[in-house]
Amino acid sequence: MDTYLQALQTLLDQTVPHCRHIGLRVLKAQRGQEGLGAAVMQLKWREDLVGDPDNGSLHHGALTTLADTTGGLAIYTSLPTGTPLATLDLRLDYLKPSAAGGTLLCHAQCLKRTQKVFFMRAEIYQGPADLEDSESDWQHSLGAPSAAPPLALATGSYIITSLGFAPSLQTAAQTATQTAAAHGEAP
């Protein structure tokens, strides 16, 4: 995992407790052209996230958290550090239940930005059952996900708020680099 992704993951783990709680991982993130960022995140199946015990599919709430966070991250990649971002609205279409076991992948893309408001679209796919952390297993490219139909579609708008301030990516990146150095790894 490169330094930028590691910094984003550290940022999420430190400042978004629920993401750590549910096990969300950043797989890709890029600022994109004209500040229209994109991101890919993964959510591994866990028994405690099941919504329907009859088929073992994940609760829609877990899918919504995945879509909301990936969408927010896609937008956040193109914002100056410390910009406070809030979800204004979110719509989800549930196309089919997720499989019991395996991994879900969410691709999110910022489609339009204005001074205050950002529009994003996201899709959730059933990932390969054996997708592990190694990046070589991960062949999907941003904006061109797998040929299989998605499990869920999400569209949402986000707004830069006046409340508080968002965590600083720069600080998180520094922390990640320091952590890596402390463990004797190359940054």
Partner 1 sequence: MSVPSASKKPALVSLTERLKTEKRFQEIDQAIPYAKFIGLKTEMRPSGPVSLLPFRAENIGNSTLPAIHGGVIAAMLEHAAAIAFLWHHEKQAMPKPVSLNINYLRLARPEDIVAEGQVIREGRQTAHIAVSAWQESPEKPIATATANILLSMPEV
Interacting positions 6-25 with partner 1 (CB under 8 A): 14-19, 21
Which region among 81-89, 99-107, 116-124, 128-136 touches partner 1 (by CB under 8 A)? Answer: 81-89
In whole angstroms, how close is the CB of 38 to partner 1 at the nearest point? 19
What is the closest distance, in whole angstroms, from the C-beta atom of residue 14 to partner 1 in the complex? 8
Asked if 112 is part of the footprint of partner 1 (rule: CB under 8 A), the reply reads no
Are 39 and 124 in contact by the 8 Å Cβ rule? The answer is no
Residues 153-172 that bind partner 1 (CB under 8 A): 163-167
Residue 94 binds partner 1, judged by CB under 8 A: yes
Smaller CB separation from partner 1, 75 or 166: 166
Contacts for 4-11: CB closer than 8 Å, 24+ residues apart = 4/29, 4/173, 5/29, 6/176, 6/180, 7/169, 7/172, 7/173, 7/175, 7/176, 7/177, 8/73, 8/77, 8/169, 8/172, 9/176, 10/172, 10/173, 10/175, 10/176, 10/179, 11/167, 11/169, 11/172
Residue 162 is classified by DSSP as S
Instruction: Compute the half-sphere exposure of residue 28: CA atoms within 13 Å on the CB side of its CA.
Output: 20
Q: Does 49 bind partner 1 (CB under 8 A)?
A: yes
| By the rule CB under 8 A, 120 interacts with partner 1 | no
Residue 48 binding partner 1, by CB under 8 A: yes
Residues at the interface with partner 1 (CB under 8 A)? 14-19, 21, 47-54, 58-62, 64-69, 86-94, 163-167
